[in-house]
Amino acid sequence: MNSTKKGDLFEERVYNVLLQAMMNEELFVSPTHSFIFKKKSYFSKDREKDIIFDLAIESYRPGAVSPNLIILIECKDYDSPVSIDNLEEFYAKKEQVARANCKCLFFSTSSLQAAAFTYASNLNIGVVRLLSDESMEWLIERTNIHLQTTDQSAQTINVINGITNEYFVSTRKNTFGFAEQTPFYSIEELLKVLLLSID
């Protein structure tokens, strides 16, 4: 399978996950006033032409002609860890088309390099790693019974490990997200935080 086809299939997978969550009213935006787009373009004054994003969510207040919230989404189906360059390029594109009331969400099948994760965390870019179904067959992470950790700190460690460890696999979760300094096992909870923190 060529890289374009592989990328398109992952974008479709993410689109379906988000669409299902919206239809179930789990995205904390009204499904009657919000829309998910594929290959959505937004005008960049710097380039004097449009920039196309993999996916985008636009949410409107009743009667409004312009969205009050835009979530721009980048999808990467890589076989190796995602580098900081991918996050920097994505954020630079976002800054060219929208700054206020706009959030970034980065989906990946692979881990993020440590520098990429730090960059995303510092700029409040939501990151989500979706593991494949096949990876649910065995468990890498282990719990040390001698370590005293709270549920929150254990979740933080597990999520960061899931996002940044290339060989991480889980028998219990297949979604690992991080945004606004908070870890998540669910896309719905991650998006809730993004929506509550709009500029």
Tens of pLDDT along 79-118?
Answer: 899 999 999 999 999 999 987 788 899 999 888 999 999 9
Which CATH number applies to 3-196? Answer: 3.40.1350.10
For residue range 29-64, list pLDDT tens digits in order. 677 888 999 999 999 989 999 999 999 999 888 888
Interior angle at CA 39, CA 38 and CA 43, nearest 5: 130
The residues facing 38 across adjacent strands are 55
User: Which three-class secondary structure state does DSSP give residue 42?
Assistant: strand
186 CA to centre of own chain? 11
Instruction: Locate the DSSP E strands across 23-110.
Output: 34-44, 49-59, 69-76, 102-108
Stronger pLDDT, 94 or 171, i.e. the higher one: 94
Find out whether 51 and 83 touch, Cβ atoms under 8 Å: no
Stronger pLDDT, 140 or 116, i.e. the higher one: 116
Find out whether 111 and 82 touch, Cβ atoms under 8 Å: yes
Instruction: Report, in angstroms and rounded to the nearest whole number, the Rg of the chain calculated over CA atoms.
Output: 17
pTM for this prediction: 0.75
Give the mean pLDDT of 123-135.
Answer: 75
- CB-based contacts of 166: which residues, under 8 Å, 6+ apart? 80, 81, 110, 111
